[in-house]
Amino acid sequence: MNATRRNRLLAVSFLVLGAAVTAAFVLKALNENINLFYPPDQVVDGSAPVDTRIRAGGMVETGSVLRTGGDLTVHFTLTDHAGSAFDVTYQGILPDLFREGQGILVAGKLGADGVFAADEVLAKHDENYMPPELAKLKGMPGTAPQGGMNTERSIIDPAGADAVRGNAVLEGGGR
Amino acid sequence: MNPELGQIAIALAFCLTILTAWFGLAGAAQRRARWMEAVDGLSLGVFLLTGFAFLVLVTAFLGDDFTVRYVADNSNSALPWYYKVSAVWGAHEGSFLLWVWIMAGWTLAVALRSRDLPDTFRARVLGVMGLLNTGFVAFLLFTSNPFQRLVPMTPSDGADLNPLLQDFGLIVHPPMLYMGYVGFSVSFAFALAALLSGRMDSAWARWSRPWSNVAWAFLTLGIALGSWWAYYELGWGGWWFWDPVENASFMPWLAGTALIHSLAVTEKRGTFKAWTLLLAITTFSLSLLGAFIVRSGVLTSVHAFAVDPTRGMFILAFLVVVVGGSLALYASRASIIASRVRYSLLSREAFLLVNNILFVVAMAFVLLGTLYPLAYEAVTGGDKISVGVPYFNAGFVPLMLLVALALGVVPALQWKRTPPERVWHHLRLMALASLVLGVGIPLVVFDALPWQALAGLTLAVWVLVTHVVDLVARARLGLGRVPVAYWGMWLGHIGFVVTVFGIALTAVLSVEKDLRMAPGQTESVAGLTITFDGIIGREGPNFVADRGLFVVEEQGRRYTLHPEKRRYAARDMVMTEAAIDAGFLRDVYVSLGEPVGDGAWAVRLQVKPFVRWIWFGAIFMMVGGVIAIADRRYKRLRAAAPAAVAGARA
Amino acid at A152: E
> Do B296 and B316 form a contact (C-beta atoms < 8 A)?
yes
Listed by number, the residues of chain A in 65-94 with a beta carbon closer than 8 Å to a beta carbon of chain B are 67, 70-72, 91-94
Would A8 be classed as within a structural domain? yes
* CB-based burial label for A86 (10 Å; 0-12, 13-18, 19+): buried
> Do B289 and B251 form a contact (C-beta atoms < 8 A)?
yes
Pair A2, A48 in one domain: no
Does the model's ipTM exceed the 0.85 cut? Answer: no
Pair A15, A49 in one domain: no
- Check residue A137 and give its pLDDT: 54
What total number of domains does chain A contain? 2
Residue A157's pLDDT band, with cuts at 50, 70 and 90, is: very low
Listed by number, the residues of chain B in 256-295 with a beta carbon closer than 8 Å to a beta carbon of chain A are none
Would A148 be classed as within a structural domain? no
Pair A25, A57 in one domain: no
pLDDT of A152 over the 80 cut: no
Q: A159–B390: do the CB atoms touch at under 8 Å?
A: no
Residues of chain B with pLDDT under 50: 302-303, 637-650
For residue A75, which of A87, A86, A62 has the smallest C-alpha distance? A87
* CATH code, domain carrying A113: 2.40.50.140
Cβ neighbors of B641 (< 8 A, separation 6 or more) are B116, B203, B206, B207
* C-alpha–C-alpha distance, residues A126 and B576, integer Å: 14
* C-alpha–C-alpha distance, residues B459 and B6, integer Å: 53
Residue A146's pLDDT band, with cuts at 50, 70 and 90, is: very low
- Check residue A7 and give its pLDDT: 80
* C-alpha–C-alpha distance, residues B410 and B401, integer Å: 15
Pair A121, A55 in one domain: yes
Listed by number, the residues of chain A in 18-57 with a beta carbon closer than 8 Å to a beta carbon of chain B are 18, 22, 25-26, 29-30, 32-37, 53, 55
- Check residue A171 and give its pLDDT: 43
Give the angle B448-B453-B456 at the CA atoms, nearest 5°.
145
Q: B303–A125: do the CB atoms touch at under 8 Å?
A: no
Pair A7, A53 in one domain: no
Pair A6, A67 in one domain: no
Pair A11, A90 in one domain: no
Would A69 be classed as within a structural domain? yes
CA separation, residue B448 to residues B120, B362, B443 (Å): 62, 28, 6
Chain B positions in Cβ-Cβ contact with residue A25 (cut-off 8 Å): 394-395
Over residues A135-139, the mean pLDDT reads 51
- Given A125, A146, A175, which is nearest B308 (Cβ)? A146
Would A90 be classed as within a structural domain? yes
Would A161 be classed as within a structural domain? no
* CB-based burial label for A73 (10 Å; 0-12, 13-18, 19+): middle
- Check residue B340 and give its pLDDT: 65
A160 has a chain B CB within 8 A of its CB: no
Structural domain boundaries enclosing A70: 37-127+168-172
Pair A52, A7 in one domain: no
* Cβ neighbours around B447 below 10 Å, total: 7
- Name A107's bridge partners: A55, A120
Pair A58, A24 in one domain: no
Would A156 be classed as within a structural domain? no
Pair A43, A88 in one domain: yes
Pair A73, A103 in one domain: yes
pLDDT of A128 over the 50 cut: no
B640 has a chain A CB within 8 A of its CB: no
* C-alpha–C-alpha distance, residues B408 and B467, integer Å: 7
Would A146 be classed as within a structural domain? no
- Check residue B222 and give its pLDDT: 96
pLDDT of A162 over the 60 cut: no
SS3 content of chain B, % helix, strand, coil (to 5): 65, 10, 20
Would A43 be classed as within a structural domain? yes
- Domain residue spans in chain B? 214-269+289-314+323-509+616-650, 511-609
Cβ neighbors of B213 (< 8 A, separation 6 or more) are B260, B625, B626, B628, B629
Report CA B15 to chain centroid distance, whole Å: 31
Pair A59, A30 in one domain: no
- Check residue B56 and give its pLDDT: 97
CA separation, residue A32 to residues A26, A52, B134, B240, B381 (Å): 10, 10, 44, 21, 21
Beta strands in A51-94 (DSSP E): 53-60, 66-67, 73-79, 85-91
What's chain A's average pLDDT? 73
Considering Cα of B5, then B7, then B13, then B15, what sign does the dihedral take? negative
CA separation, residue B145 to residues A92, B9, B53, B54, B204 (Å): 43, 12, 11, 12, 37
B312 has a chain A CB within 8 A of its CB: no
B297 has a chain A CB within 8 A of its CB: yes
Strand-pair category, A85-91 with A116-124: parallel
> Do A38 and A137 form a contact (C-beta atoms < 8 A)?
no
* DSSP H/E element including B183: helix B168-197
